Amino acid sequence: MAIAMLQQTVGGTLQLLSNSGTHCNVGNRSVRLLPKGFKLEVEFPKRAIYSSGKRKLNVIQASTSQTSVVGPLLAPSSSDTLDSHMKPNEVALILIRHGESLWNEKNLFTGCVDVPLTNKGVEEAIEAGHRISNIPVDMIYTSSLIRAQKTAMLAMTQHRRKKVPIILHNEDERARAWSKIYSEDTIEQSIPVITSWKLNERMYGELQGLNKQETADKFGHEKVHEWRRSYDIPPPNGESLEMCAQRAVAYFRDNIEPQLLSGKNILISAHGNSLRSIIMYLDKLTSQEVITLELSTGIPMLYIFKEGKFIRRGSPVAPTEAGVYAYTRRLAQYRQKLDDMLT
């Protein structure tokens, strides 16, 4: 385990210079370092705990100097964590494929073309929100495409906790400075939304914009099925599912899994293939098994992350579905707290 040197503190950013090795302890977290010479910037809350001169950090996000440091992520307020001093040993992970888009409706290959939702897609996103309205959400991750971002925002309008999802802008220092929130109370009532192109739909290359049926008529049903559902055969000048997984699953492991480990409940609103690749990782599917995996638009899927394992819990049917809360004690207690707070 490398010992990272505390290089300097600049405002709210602690800069660590990795001297060697691949990991270092920062606070109570093991932070993966990158090759020597990369500068790690670790954002920490103003309320960082100081003891005996050592800076004990509640590491909430680490990144290299090559990627922009995500803005100060918001720790869930104590009212959201049943015991804010103890990290829960189980948290919720919700996955949602975006609601129907205008090109889904036209049966066109969409990929990374930034197409909006249809009215049906809006309704699907709102219905998804009903289904997850009593499940804790502390952070939201989504792609850089509007259909996934809007699905997340619409779903959260139905959440009983009524926290406000806020898209973090950290493209550069100005974006961070100009989107800063200056009220602790308001921060407590917010949910950070982190966007990344790495969660985008697979890039469909020269099929983007083509009609799926016409493409099958032209190239043959078998060939199009191979492009759409094989694991390692890309469409012309596009991404295979394997190539999509290399970015989406890496992003999940490097950015989202550490947040789950730190006790955050996470919602991911993304796309058919970026989510298929993540589910392949969560459920340990083979490249053969993932071929048959299909995701409907706007249907939330619930996982419980417990002791480093992902336990698939199906799709919550409705906020009144008692079954969802029987899955774990903490979910049941969170639901009870909501009932007490909001009745």
Ligand X SMILES: O=C(O)[C@H](O)COP(=O)(O)O
Q: Judged by CB, which is closer to ligand X: 159, or 202? A: 202
Question: Binding to ligand X by residue 61, rule CB under 6 A?
Answer: no
Expressed in percent and rounded to 5, the helix, strand and coil fractions of the chain are 35, 20, 45
Q: How far is CA 240 from CA 17, 22, 217, in A?
A: 36, 30, 21
Question: Binding to ligand X by residue 231, rule CB under 6 A?
Answer: no
Of 263, 272, 298, 300, the residue at the interface with ligand X (CB under 6 A) is 272
Q: Judged by CB, which is closer to ligand X: 42, or 148? A: 148
The contact mask relative to ligand X for 136-175 (x = CB under 6 A, - = no) is ----------------------------------------
* Identity of residue 317: V
Has 98 been annotated as catalytic?
yes
- Of these residues, 41, 98, 124, 239, which one is catalytic? 98
Residue 273 annotated as lining a ligand binding site: yes
Q: What is the CA radius of gyration of the chain?
A: 21
Largest CA distance in the chain: 71
Nearest distance from C-beta of residue 109 to ligand X, angstroms: 4
Give the span between the Cα atoms of 300 and 316, in whole angstroms: 7
| Binding piece for ligand X, criterion CB under 6 A, among 4-12, 66-74, 108-116, 183-191 | 108-116
8 A C-beta contact, residue 242 and residue 231? yes
Number of residues lying near ligand X (CB under 6 A) = 9
Residue 147 annotated as lining a ligand binding site: yes
Of 204, 303, 305, 310, the residue at the interface with ligand X (CB under 6 A) is 204
Q: Judged by CB, which is closer to ligand X: 14, or 148? A: 148
- Of these residues, 43, 201, 239, 257, which one is catalytic? 201
Sign of CA dihedral 301, 299, 76, 199: positive
Of 72, 76, 99, 111, the residue at the interface with ligand X (CB under 6 A) is 111
Q: Judged by CB, which is closer to ligand X: 109, or 310? A: 109
Has 43 been annotated as catalytic?
no
Give the span between the Cα atoms of 248 and 275, in whole angstroms: 8
Give the span between the Cα atoms of 116 and 104, in whole angstroms: 10
Residue 202 annotated as lining a ligand binding site: yes
Question: Binding to ligand X by residue 201, rule CB under 6 A?
Answer: yes
Q: Judged by CB, which is closer to ligand X: 138, or 201? A: 201
- Report the DSSP pairing between strands 139-142 and 266-270: parallel
Residue 314 annotated as lining a ligand binding site: no
Q: How far is CA 113 from CA 116, 179, 244, in A?
A: 10, 27, 15
Question: Binding to ligand X by residue 228, rule CB under 6 A?
Answer: yes
Of 247, 271, 313, 335, the residue at the interface with ligand X (CB under 6 A) is 271
8 A C-beta contact, residue 216 and residue 224? yes
Question: Binding to ligand X by residue 251, rule CB under 6 A?
Answer: no
Q: Judged by CB, which is closer to ligand X: 103, or 252? A: 103
Nearest distance from C-beta of residue 327 to ligand X, angstroms: 29
- The three-state DSSP-derived secondary structure of 257-315 is HHHHHCCCCEEEEECHHHHHHHHHHHCCCCCCHHHHCCCCCCCCEEEEEECCEEEECCC
Question: Binding to ligand X by residue 110, rule CB under 6 A?
Answer: yes
Q: Which two tokens stand for residue 109?
A: 């290959």
Residue 41 annotated as lining a ligand binding site: no
Residues binding ligand X (CB under 6 A): 109-111, 201, 204, 228, 271-273
Which residues are the active-site residues? 98, 201
